[in-house]
Chain A
Amino acid sequence: MSRERQVEVSLQREHIRVMIVGDVRLYREGIAASLEHRVDLEVVCTAQSSDAHRRSVECDPDVVVLDMATSHSLDLIREFESSAPRTRVVAFAVEETEHDVLLCAEAGAAGYVAADGTLDDLVNTVRSVARGELLCSPRIAATLFRALRVPTPEAGVDRLALALTAREREIAPLLEQGLSNKEIAAQLHIEVATVKNHVHNLLEKLQVGSRGEAAARLRSSQLSHSRTPSFRLDRGSTSPTSP
């Protein structure tokens, strides 16, 4: 079932199933008790950070409300994002700076509540992320747009380019042209073994099983027509420098 379909099924439930994660008992228990008073919210479980992953598997929440004062909170968001992609994370007690909000977003949080946010802010954010929406200030919205800014397909680069290293972007058009590893090596003045490694990585990133499939994918992506290095704000494999 696709993630979109899973979310739709989830939203057809009568309540939004909420899990509260935090190491501070006062907030964990207090938020749980408060959310229980909302007719559309059901607190299915609470957990401290050390137990969060196991409890989320047991409780299958739609939304996790995570106290960012919790130790390793960003790692917890990443864990939820990878192990339970249907579950959406609301981070609360976030310092509303561009830096901290971007860290939350990059880790995979679907929404956040600022450190000076109210209970109503938290409730509304939980409801919003359950609908697939984001509540945030215009300033933070602008920050997120800037962070997501990428060259358009019309400019000859698509999102696939963001996942590739500079050397892989050099090899991609040659692969599309049907050149062998030996021919690519000769053209780029590098070892054949090095080309093999890059081609292997390219096939993985393109999620294809053969050079022919890779060439087809590259043609459809327009990536092979671009020489423009691409960047992204996060810590990824998008260095503009050659490996």
Chain B
Amino acid sequence: MRVLLTNLPPLLRDILAEALAAEPDIALVGQDADVIVMQGSRDEAEEILHASGSARVVAVDSRGTRAIVLGDSESIALNDVSPSTIIMEIRGTA
């Protein structure tokens, strides 16, 4: 599974990159991702989803407490997110 981390604060980007690097079925890429993880609003996430052609976008809010997951036919709101819940959402197994 190819994952792109974008528009994240440097510390959060590094934390997630290390967490994802430990997952053998996940590869960090610079483009053509299956899943995009970003920081931003729902509108920004929808824009990215449509523009990128990725299957799924996980957008974390500015505080880092909530996230929304957008796919072709799904929209999930998450509270109190952790690195492990983001990994589960990347895989679509939450």
B27 CB–A CB distance under 8 Å? no
B72 CB–A CB distance under 8 Å? no
Contact across chains for B11 and A117 when beta carbons are under 8 A apart: yes
Complex: how many Å from CA A29 to CA B84? 9
Complex: how many Å from CA A92 to CA B82? 18
Complex: how many Å from CA A34 to CA B20? 11
Chain A proximity of B84: nearest CB distance (Å) = 8
How many A-B pairs fall under 8 Å by CB?
Answer: 60
List residues of chain B with CB within 8 A of the CB of A25.
Answer: 65, 80-82
Q: Given A33-B19, A69-B63, A116-B9, decide whether A26 and B14 contact each other with a Cβ distance below 8 A.
A: no
Q: Given A33-B18, A34-B18, A37-B18, decide whether A26 and B65 contact each other with a Cβ distance below 8 A.
A: yes
List B residues at the A interface (Cβ < 8 Å).
Answer: 9-12, 14-16, 18-19, 60, 63-65, 80-84, 86
**24 CB-based A-B contacts, threshold 8 Å:** A25-B65, A25-B82, A26-B12, A26-B15, A26-B64, A27-B11, A29-B83, A30-B15, A30-B16, A30-B19, A31-B11, A33-B18, A33-B19, A33-B83, A34-B15, A34-B19, A92-B11, A93-B11, A115-B9, A116-B9, A116-B10, A119-B18, A121-B11, A122-B11
List A residues at the B interface (Cβ < 8 Å).
Answer: 24-27, 29-31, 33-34, 37, 69, 92-93, 113, 115-122
